[in-house]
Structure 1
Amino acid sequence: MTKDYELMVILSPRLNADEANSLNDSILAQIVDNGGEIIKTDPWGRRMLAYPINKVQEAYYYVNYFKLDSQAVKPLKRLYNINEDIMRHMFVARGE
């Protein structure tokens, strides 16, 4: 069943701005490759973290909105857990 999702990703500050944008573009491409439809991307840029993650104080934030089959979320989560440049990610199913 296709649902609307919001995905927030926090990317490593080791990346420069172009690399962070490129990584977010590859995240969006993986969503599309799994049958998703991108609605909107909201890059927040480099910001201070609310608390340190692995001794890091700031990172790049992106919020992506898309439609995707609910069965395709689990494999994407696995991919994002493996990538060291993705510090945190959170999928939220959005209500109607």
Structure 2
Amino acid sequence: MREYEIVYVIRADLSDDDRAAKIERIHSLITDNGGQLGKVEDWGKRVLAYPIRHCTDAYYGLAEFQLAPENVKTIEERLNIDEEILRYQTISRA
């Protein structure tokens, strides 16, 4: 397993409960695919440098995790489908 880090940007117009559920869904995608979560950070609401899907602000978060390389693509495919996740970036820390 390799170490990865994902930064995600979630729509700001979600309720607190919906946002928490969305973050939990991201974390469960990692663990359901055999990953292990490490450090998780909530960076809060920030103004975007440019509008993304007509949104000018969003919630940022970060999660460090360990996962087999072949499962990263599966997680990214699921995140691409979700309209409430505006952007994400996964990087390898190894």
Displacement after TM superposition at 1:45 (Å): 1.0
TM-score by length of 2: 0.94
CA-to-partner distance for each residue in 1:12-56, whole Å, 9 max, x for gaps? 112122321221111101100100000011001111112111221
Runs of 4+ aligned structure 1 residues displaced above 3 Å come to none
Q: How does 1:44-63 map to 2 (within 5 A)?
A: 44-63=43-62
Aligned to 2:29: 30
Matched position secondary structure for 1:43:
strand
**Aligned-pair identity (%):** 34
User: Partners in 1 of 2:46 and 2:15 — Cα distance?
Assistant: 13
Which stretch has the larger CA shift, 66-75 or 17-26? 17-26
Aligned to 1:79: 78
Q: What is the Cα-based RMSD across aligned positions, in Å?
A: 0.9
Matched position secondary structure for 1:15:
coil
User: Partners in 2 of 1:5 and 1:86 — Cα distance?
Assistant: 19
Matched position secondary structure for 1:57:
strand
- One-letter code aligned to 1:21: A
Aligned to 2:14: 15
Structure 2 stretches of 5 or more lacking a match?
none
TM-score by length of 1: 0.92
